[in-house]
Structure 1
Amino acid sequence: MTQKNARIGVDIGGTFTDIALDLDGKLFTGKVLTNYTQPEQAILDGIQLVCKRANITANEITTVIHGTTLVTNSLIERRGARTAFITSEGFRDVVEMRTENRFEQYDLNLTLPTPLVKRTDRYTLNERISSSGEVLTEIDTAELNALVKEVVAEGYEAIAVGFIHSYANDINEVQVQKAFAKAAPELSVSISSHVSPQMREFQRFNTVIANAYVRPQVSDYLGRLVKRLKETGMTCPVFMMHSAGGLISVDTASEFPVRLLESGPAGGAIFAAKFASSYAENQVLSFDMGGTTAKICLIEGGKPKTANTFEVARTYRFAKGSGMPLSTPVVEMVEIGAGGGSIAHVDDMKQIRVGPKSAASEPGPACYQRGGENPTVTDANLLLGRLDPDLFAGGDIPLSVPLASSAMMNKVALKAELDEQQAAFGVTEVVDENMANAARVHTVENGKEISNFTMIAFGGGAPLHACRLCEKLDMNYLIIPPGAGVGSAIGFLNAPFSYEASKGMYQRLSNFDPERINLLLSELRAEALAFVKRGAGEVETTTQVQAFMRYTGQGGEIGIDIDYKDYVADDVDAFRAKFESGYHTLFGRTIDGLGIEITNWSITVASKLAPSTPMTLRRSGQQIEITKTREFFDAAIRKVVTAGEVERSRLAPGDAVTGPAIIVEDETSTVVTSGYTVIAQDDKSMLLVNKKIMETV
């Protein structure tokens, strides 16, 4: 009997857990409500669901790939381990002083985020490393042993160690780690020179503390997951999706859980990038809307934009600087509290507000009939006719129109002095405008014009809102890929094994030292390659290098792609030219007379994937006969319209449906407003085209 290739992707979201099974190239998908007390149970339930649909047993699965919001939720909700932080004498309060930046300049009552580790749990050692890596003060063994004894006696569950300039030399941090391993081997110890060996002590200290804070919980969860999978007959390997868009082993994820921060959204970006590459769409805006949040990411040249820092748990109107900055590789995206479960309310000015609080899966939106009393975006969409109450989630979750109506009237309509339809429209319009503003800001910050982009939308909620978003953003093309409702889980199946190794090494171009650069890049590549081999074995790989550069005197860097090769002295001009080109793209100018310097370096090694199959978008099609209709509220023209309702499985390549229309499938529904026409593609994607620019209809 021929061995089946059955690979499963599992994405745990705030409301739903999405499952995608690739069985010898055929896709089976499903959604189940997320189980907050036992996340692994939702995974097992989802796997059972798709295995039944594929007519296979669990022991036939060959690979499980998993992404989770566990790390993010633990940091936001402060549900991590009791952690001690050990740092250099004199730097105990760095995590509390932050960078002394006021993220809201004119708020006299500004409150800074509370550090994960309170002051009484921070300890110091008399040690010092210079910025060049020279040991200025060695650790006194007696002092270290006394500190270890004191910390162990306090009963901490995790230890974080972060010394000044340890990115340049890890000798003192490693000494502390070994001392704890000898005295209390059961203790989880994270050191900053291994977790995030980059310049800037505030971000580095935050990162190692966050890693230590969630490490026991993540390690325990992953251990339970692997055990439960084996108990159901699955002896296949389990891999994790990391924040930068690649796969790592469970062991690596347990050691560096901070790299799992945005693992689910990263899978979505990979999902969108695959289709962008297939269609040779070089400027794509990916739009991922689930039950709790909406994520927007730029994809250029078939690759998501990445960054080496990320800010989690923003506390002040989602203002930049109000959260916890972490130095970890991540797909760069903007994320706002706008999902199907986002709760709507009316403020003191009688204005409708939506999010960031979510009804999530427990109790869920009012229409879920699980005890929820607050109106959500899903309730609004149901009342506006965009959702079929009998077919939501393939019919597994029947929706109650009366419960949605009661919640909307009591919590929004009456307070805002509106009728039910006006209130529901107001909720969806507010959330759509919030997402549109986020997309505008994100593209402007990256020096781009958003109307030149094509949108790719996925997630359970995005196809409901994407067409309206395109109208607001003046975007003419929108792609809804097959399996869009579980896009992130499918993205896991398309991701390479990869690992990004980074290190801080300061160097001015005026003192360009190619030998030092070559040695560092060689060491970083060897480190990254070793992690990839731990998960994928001996595979063909690709190598990408970034140098983080700035003008002398500036406080922030930009990432510049450079080649992986042996550099010579004459290459300094190439570094300068690439930096000035990148700087000009972002800011529209360069600065004459200032020196240029490099602060941090990173290398990403990834397993080589097969190239995407080239596809040509059909931009026109033949209108099909509509046999079923439904009424829904069209926000663009602000009235109820009679729309054609078409099952997505009915559409053949070249079929066209002129809006207003609703294309229905198990995991989501696509709303086609009056201004757009949908055209079915050869790969089962749907292209929505603004009627104004269509060559033929």
Structure 2
Amino acid sequence: MTESNARYRLGVDIGGTFTDVLLFNETTGALTSLKVPSNRQEPEEAIVIGLETLRDKHGVSPEAIAYFSHGTTLGVNTLLERDGAEVGVLVTQGFRDILELRRLRLPQANNLYAPRPQALAPRRRVAEIRERVGHDGNVIVPISRDDVVAQARRLIEAGADNIAICFMHSYRHDGHEMQAKQWILEEFPDAYVIASAELWPQQREYERSLISVINGYIGARMRRYFETLQKKTAARGVKTRIFSTKSNGGVMGLEAAGARPVETLLSGPASGVIGAAFIGRLIGDQKLLTLDMGGTSVDMALIDGAVPYSNENTVGDFPVLLPAVDVSAIGAGGGSIAWLDAEGVLKVGPRSAGARPGPACYGRGGTEPTVTDAYAALGIMTSILGGEMKLHVDKARAALATIGDKLGLSVEQTADAILQVATANIYAETVPQLARRGVDAQEFSLLCYGAAGPTHSFMLARELNLRRVVVPPMPGLLCALGCLVADLRADFVRSLWHDSRDMTDEQVNATYQQFLVEAESWLDTQQVEIEEKQIIRSADICYHGQSFELNVILPDGPLTVAQVENLFHDRYEQVYGYADRSSPLRILEARLQIVGKTKKPDFSYLRPFADAEQAPISERRLYENGKDGMATVYRRALLEPGFSFEGPAIIEQYDTTIYLPAGFRATIDQWYNLIGERVQ
């Protein structure tokens, strides 16, 4: 039975292979973790199974859950797999091809024959409206109700009941878009209508239009998922409000997420970085290179004192201007398939075996060799989920032999080669990312998580000259932990595009004051108790004639134009080593982010989840890096702070397997993190 008066916080991360469930007991501080196979068709089913398992196996009543936050890859997968809803688009007359023309940039600069990305809304689904607003916000051509309703009817009758309205210069004057939305809803109340200026009022017509189309494209599926999730969890007794994580690392209620699902596109990777930053603050390490290696991909972020954010992100073929945690996809994951190209060269990824059928060693019908099969064949991994799921090593070896026979290599040599190629792929992408950010790898710790991150991180650390490797107590559930510790967070933007010399101090302060009113209103609608409110103001600024801008953080309190100019010059000099303080500036965008800091659980004694059975220390034969040898096998839940050992070693736990190669020493710190350093 549930402990008397116990309150619980539930964090859930729905991945492509497994759904991670992390339950925190606010009374005792105890953590319970589950990994449930994800259901691609009905993603909420994995959450329901998790709730039922917590109730039946651990005695936790759903009614006792006081906080429930989750993240899902449903939106981004819908976009990448191109199986979203039909979207009709209303544009200003003369701009029907805005989604086709994009930015007239080649996807591959050195390939004139690269295929052109296909628009989410084909040209036949784009209708022109006779209206026009000038760049200054003045109406040039009025809008007509009859024209709007007629074009909307044509699109809806053709099957596009999601309508995106994307008029020129609506970021300056949104009256036409909002009027068109009202008229359409009066005639077609069941339609889902998105006004681009309402969603994200930033100049750059293609990107603003694209965000609106994406919102409609993934919206139907996301809203259906959110509604089904609420119904099914309520039927099991969950009474608390459910939150969804956002791309910017915050959370919002399901009602807001259903209206603006585009804000959840990169929420999965963002949750992991938020969790990693939380661990970093806990242990006093503010310089972290995060490595999230799951079943299908590897994501990297660089935390240098604060979580990094970017206003320009890419999802598949599409640029997304919404602010998001700055995460880069840099390689293939544990389920990535190994293959030979036309010249017989070994490649790994990007195609993945997914959850079904999964790697061959899962015994679910997979026959193609994957990175996980290589782990199994080399002896690094023999089971997952704390021994609940045994791996079929014989099937892994059979799959690897299909490539090894062609290469003239043994199964062990083939598996070792696959891991070396996977490591080289990650290394080749990581080094430029570090260089682009201008940091020295020796100053940073590699914090690894995801189901395969701890298994592969020390192989990468052999190649990178990093300070140390940090493996959190529950690395396979760090994204779920990120859901538990994320704050309420929302972003606001307004395009100005003014010469700084033409702006007054009053105009600058009035802009941010209006932002503040909107932001505080949003925070109030979330109906969540917060401990602290934080306001972050910034502006995108460039010199006259430049095509790219810098984001400049602005201080609290009243602002002056001269102060903003000096801050830009200082920032420009910091980035480029030079600043022309006499040149005129253009202030492009004003931005404001509001953060409602929620009460954080006390994870001071966060430690690995203990399985029902704890096997004693043993040894296992393995082959890795071209060498045959023996490795000591440890159960991580039995390792106490201060315990130290050298590789080669394998550390098994419920949510992952850690591989410590020869040449590294591991120590368990006071927070139960495994700290790996090179043996001097």
Deviates more, 1:431-440 or 1:284-293: 431-440
- Equivalent of 2:534, from 528, 537, 542? 542
> Which structure 2 residues correspond to residues 199-278 of structure 1 after superposition, within 5 A?
199-278=203-282
CA 1:10–1:343: 2 relative to 1, 3 Å: same
TM-score (ref. length: structure 2): 0.94
Are positions 1:289 and 2:293 aligned together?
A: yes
**Aligned-partner Cα distance in 2 for 1:690–1:509:** 52
> Which structure 2 residues correspond to residues 61-140 of structure 1 after superposition, within 5 A?
61-140=65-144
Q: 1:477 maps to what in 2?
A: 468
Q: 2:609 maps to what in 1?
A: none
Aligned residue type for 1:262:
L
Cα distance, 1:369 vs. partner?
0.6
Q: 1:378 maps to what in 2?
A: 372
Q: Is the 8 A contact 2:416 2:624 kept in 1?
A: no
Q: Deviations over 1:492-523 (max 9, x none)?
A: 10111111122222123333332222222122
Q: Is the 8 A contact 1:480 1:687 kept in 2?
A: yes
Are positions 1:347 and 2:341 aligned together?
A: yes
Q: Deviations over 1:132-161 (max 9, x none)?
A: 322222212332232233333333220111
Q: Is the 8 A contact 1:309 1:329 kept in 2?
A: yes
Cα distance, 1:580 vs. partner?
3.4
Cα distance, 1:444 vs. partner?
1.5
**Aligned-partner Cα distance in 1 for 2:344–2:467:** 34
Q: 1:309 maps to what in 2?
A: 312
Q: 1:683 maps to what in 2?
A: 671
Q: 2:439 maps to what in 1?
A: 448
Q: 2:160 maps to what in 1?
A: 156
**Aligned-partner Cα distance in 2 for 1:50–1:640:** 42
Q: 1:462 maps to what in 2?
A: 453
Q: 2:394 maps to what in 1?
A: 402
Q: Is the 8 A contact 2:333 2:371 kept in 1?
A: yes
Cα distance, 1:538 vs. partner?
5.3
CA 1:611–1:28: 2 relative to 1, 3 Å: closer
Cα distance, 1:613 vs. partner?
8.4
Cα distance, 1:581 vs. partner?
3.7
Are positions 1:654 and 2:673 aligned together?
A: no
Cα distance, 1:131 vs. partner?
2.4
- The 3-state SS of whatever aligns with 2:466 is coil
Residue ranges of structure 1 left out of the alignment (5+ in a row): 314-322, 617-625, 693-697
Are positions 1:633 and 2:623 aligned together?
A: yes
Q: Is the 8 A contact 1:8 1:61 kept in 2?
A: yes
Aligned residue type for 1:628:
S
Cα distance, 1:427 vs. partner?
1.2
**Aligned-partner Cα distance in 2 for 1:42–1:537:** 26
Q: Is the 8 A contact 2:145 2:180 kept in 1?
A: no
Q: Deviations over 1:351-405 (max 9, x none)?
A: 111111111101111111111111111111111111123xx11223221011111
CA 1:656–1:192: 2 relative to 1, 3 Å: same
TM-score (ref. length: structure 1): 0.92
Q: 1:197 maps to what in 2?
A: 201
Are positions 1:555 and 2:547 aligned together?
A: yes
Cα distance, 1:218 vs. partner?
0.5
Aligned residue type for 2:38:
T
**Aligned-partner Cα distance in 2 for 1:566–1:442:** 37
Deviates more, 1:528-537 or 1:453-462: 528-537
Q: 1:600 maps to what in 2?
A: 589
Cα distance, 1:535 vs. partner?
2.2
Q: 2:571 maps to what in 1?
A: 582
Are positions 1:3 and 2:5 aligned together?
A: yes
Residue ranges of structure 2 left out of the alignment (5+ in a row): 606-615
- The 3-state SS of whatever aligns with 1:438 is helix
Q: 1:644 maps to what in 2?
A: 632
**Aligned-partner Cα distance in 2 for 1:615–1:594:** 51
Deviates more, 1:39-48 or 1:148-157: 148-157
- Equivalent of 1:335, from 322, 325, 329? 329
Q: 1:319 maps to what in 2?
A: none
Q: 1:415 maps to what in 2?
A: 406
Aligned residue type for 1:68:
T
Cα distance, 1:277 vs. partner?
1.8
**Aligned-partner Cα distance in 2 for 1:27–1:614:** 9
- The 3-state SS of whatever aligns with 2:368 is coil
Aligned residue type for 2:559:
Y
**Aligned-partner Cα distance in 2 for 1:677–1:536:** 48
**Aligned-partner Cα distance in 2 for 1:612–1:277:** 14
**Aligned-partner Cα distance in 1 for 2:299–2:237:** 35
Q: 2:524 maps to what in 1?
A: 533
Q: 1:34 maps to what in 2?
A: 38
Q: Is the 8 A contact 2:652 2:658 kept in 1?
A: yes
CA 1:165–1:225: 2 relative to 1, 3 Å: same
- The 3-state SS of whatever aligns with 1:197 is coil
Q: 1:317 maps to what in 2?
A: none
Q: Is the 8 A contact 1:28 1:53 kept in 2?
A: no
**Aligned-partner Cα distance in 1 for 2:147–2:600:** 57
**Aligned-partner Cα distance in 2 for 1:396–1:612:** 29
Aligned residue type for 1:630:
R
Cα distance, 1:631 vs. partner?
2.5
Q: Deviations over 1:47-94 (max 9, x none)?
A: 333445543122222222110111111111111111101111111111
Q: Deviations over 1:553-581 (max 9, x none)?
A: 22222322112432234xx2x32343234
Q: Deviations over 1:510-541 (max 9, x none)?
A: 33332222222122222232222222435331
Q: Is the 8 A contact 2:165 2:195 kept in 1?
A: yes
**Aligned-partner Cα distance in 2 for 1:40–1:627:** 38
Cα distance, 1:268 vs. partner?
0.3
**Aligned-partner Cα distance in 2 for 1:294–1:686:** 21
Q: 2:661 maps to what in 1?
A: 673
Identity in percent: 29
Q: 2:320 maps to what in 1?
A: 326
Q: Is the 8 A contact 1:634 1:674 kept in 2?
A: no
Q: Is the 8 A contact 1:525 1:604 kept in 2?
A: no
Q: Is the 8 A contact 2:155 2:161 kept in 1?
A: no
- The 3-state SS of whatever aligns with 2:10 is strand
CA 1:577–1:152: 2 relative to 1, 3 Å: same
